[in-house]
């Protein structure tokens, strides 16, 4: 008998979570409702998802504050913020750190850091201080092969009905491509609006696939 498929139901302090036999948390999956949480952020408390219903949300985690790759990611995401606002999308960062420490990091970025021709970049999105790693564990952001206490670079794109629509994981060593995250978000919005699919390397304005794979069954 293999143990891979055996699950244990354990009651953890915050809520019931399902753990596999080797103790790994089950990852959230595409198509599920995003798990709710309340959190302290650099812009005050948030209640997720109720504070964001009707908006797209990009929930993204960082391995550590005051580190170079994470800093460049904050700056890049901030520079693209007008595009994400136009797409009715709220970014929410997360770090396993205290809110005061993250605020210190954000101030340092805004006041001192230069990257790729940008400086004095205002960081406009809230960043969750998840010291107890409750949200990080809930969302499968802690990958024990990397670290027990730091998140990997996770991205969850969550739609206005609070359903998880896309998940990306990157290692700590490789900064994310925020143009790609924007492209994926636009693809999801186009898919929803026109019931189509988007081909490989699709870019906004280019041809789409009609009907979408989901609508083939409906059409037959």
Which position among 46, 70, 78, 92 is part of the footprint of ligand BEZ (CB under 6 A)? Answer: 70
> Could you tell me the smallest distance in angstroms from the CB atom of residue 173 to ligand BEZ?
6
Coil, helix or strand at residue 71: helix
| Cis-peptide into 218, omega within 30 deg | no
Alpha-carbon span 112 to 103, nearest angstrom:
14
Minimum Å gap between C-beta 62 and ligand BEZ is: 7
67 interacts with ligand BEZ by CB under 6 A: yes
Q: Which is nearer to ligand BEZ, 70 or 99 (CB)?
A: 70
**Residue 127 lies near ligand BEZ (rule: CB under 6 A):** no
Per CB under 6 A, does 63 bind ligand BEZ?
yes
User: Interface with ligand BEZ includes 2 (CB under 6 A)?
Assistant: no
Encoded tokens for 137: 């564990």
Shortest distance, position 153 Cβ to ligand BEZ, whole Å: 9
H/E stretch holding 155: strand 153-158
149 binds ligand BEZ (CB under 6 A): no
Contact between 174 and ligand BEZ by CB under 6 A: the answer reads no
> Both tokens of residue 109?
């970025």
- Residue 211, preceding peptide bond in cis (omega within 30° of 0): yes
Q: Which residues are catalytic?
A: 70
Closest contact distance (angstroms) between CB of 65 and ligand BEZ is: 9
Distance CA 70, CA 95 (A): 10
Please report, as ranges, the residues that interact with ligand BEZ according to CB under 6 A: 63-64, 67-70, 172-173
């Amino acid at each position: 008998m293999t143990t891979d498929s055996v699950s244990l139901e354990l009651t953890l302090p915050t809520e019931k979570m399902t753990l596999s036999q080797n103790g790994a948390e089950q990852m959230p999956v595409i198509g599920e409702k995003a798990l709710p949480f309340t959190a302290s952020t650099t812009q005050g408390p948030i209640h997720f998802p109720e504070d964001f219903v009707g908006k797209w949300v990009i929930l993204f985690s960082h391995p550590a504050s005051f580190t170079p790759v994470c800093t460049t990611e904050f700056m890049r995401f901030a520079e693209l913020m007008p595009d994400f606002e136009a797409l009715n999308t709220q970014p929410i960062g997360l770090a396993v750190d205290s809110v005061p420490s993250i605020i210190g990091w954000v101030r340092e970025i805004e006041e001192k850091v230069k990257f790729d021709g940008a400086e004095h970049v205002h960081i406009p999105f809230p960043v969750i201080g998840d010291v107890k790693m409750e949200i990080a564990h809930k969302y499968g952001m802690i990958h024990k092969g990397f670290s027990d206490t730091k998140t990997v670079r996770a991205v969850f794109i969550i739609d206005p009905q609070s359903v998880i629509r896309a998940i990306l994981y990157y290692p700590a060593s490789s900064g994310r491509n925020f143009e790609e995250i924007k492209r994926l978000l636009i693809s999801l919005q186009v898919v929803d609006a026109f019931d189509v699919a988007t081909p490989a390397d699709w870019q906004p304005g280019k041809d789409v696939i009609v009907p979408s794979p989901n609508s083939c069954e409906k059409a037959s």
